[in-house]
Amino acid sequence: MKIQPIDIKGEMNMQNVLHIHSTDVREILHALTEKRDEAPQFFLHSPIIVDCKSLDEECTDLDYKGLLTGLRALSFVPVGIRHLPSDSVDSAMQAGWAILRDSTAKQSQLKTEPNIKKDTSQPEEVADNDTNTNTEVAYSGERVKVITRPVRSGQQVYAAQGDIVVLSQTGAGSEVLADGSIHVYGSIAGRVLAGVNGDRSARIFCQGLEAELISIAGVYQLLDEIDTPLKGQPAMIHLEGGKLLIEPMV
């Protein structure tokens, strides 16, 4: 039997979404530079989608080529642009943009200006295959979802509308996301994001804090930038006064 040379599959990938509220490309790029400089390693070569929904008819005034060039100069990887009126599509395509279908997926805000949001759109159906290190698992409709196996590098697990409990550990290069709280009975590595659709009461619990990035309700922090004696130790993470607090597990 002849093996097909390619497969095209839909996946649930975390991507930065840049919501722009101005057609002034210089102003956009200046604000984005400030945002990038807060966590340069996090945004380095990061895929980014541009959302023009707030501009509406003003999209005709946007310098699409300048925006594309500017994003690349800031070390972002532009994926595409969306929410364009029909009379602006040709201009964007001629400038080199891919036109994305409008998305109604819920998104969680990372921080304030510029309005960059994390896109957590999920596919209609994703299989859990323990032999594939790139398997991405999406769960929804249950208040608590329990994962009995380690979450490996390259694997992404998302619990929609509830909490997630991992009875093992999460590996470097993995992503664990939940609309609610995240409980990990082992150590956490990779990226761990709770309250991804804005639940500020969500928390992260783990037996070993080694994550590359932690986030609650869009407020994120790279662990390398956190001054805490709890690295590698049991910890609970929650929001207080708009800041992430890391406390020992008692």
To the question of pTM greater than 0.95 for the whole model, the response is no
150 & 193 share domain: yes
114 & 151 share domain: no
The secondary structure of the chain, three-state, reads CCCCCCCCCCCCCCEEEEECCCCCHHHHHHHHHHHHHHCHHHHCCCEEEEECCCCHHHHHHCCHHHHHHHHHHCCCEEEEEECCCHHHHHHHHHCCCCECCCCCCCEEECCCCCEEEEECCCCCCCCCCCCCCCCEEEECCCCEEEECCCECCCCEEEECCCEEEECCCECCCCEEEECCCEEECCEECCEEEECCCCCCCCCEEECEECCCEEEECCEEEEHHHCCCCCECCCEEEEEECCEEEEEECC
130 occurs within a structural domain: no
pLDDT digit string (tens) for 216-245? 988 888 877 777 888 889 999 999 988 889
124 occurs within a structural domain: no
127 occurs within a structural domain: no
102 occurs within a structural domain: yes
More confident call, 21 vs 45:
21
The number of domains in the chain is 2
pLDDT digit string (tens) for 47-103? 888 999 999 889 999 999 999 999 999 988 898 999 999 999 999 999 999 998 764
Report pLDDT for 94.
94
126 occurs within a structural domain: no
Report pLDDT for 82.
92
CATH of the domain at 147: 2.160.20.70
- Residue 103: domain span: 15-119
Average pLDDT, the chain: 79
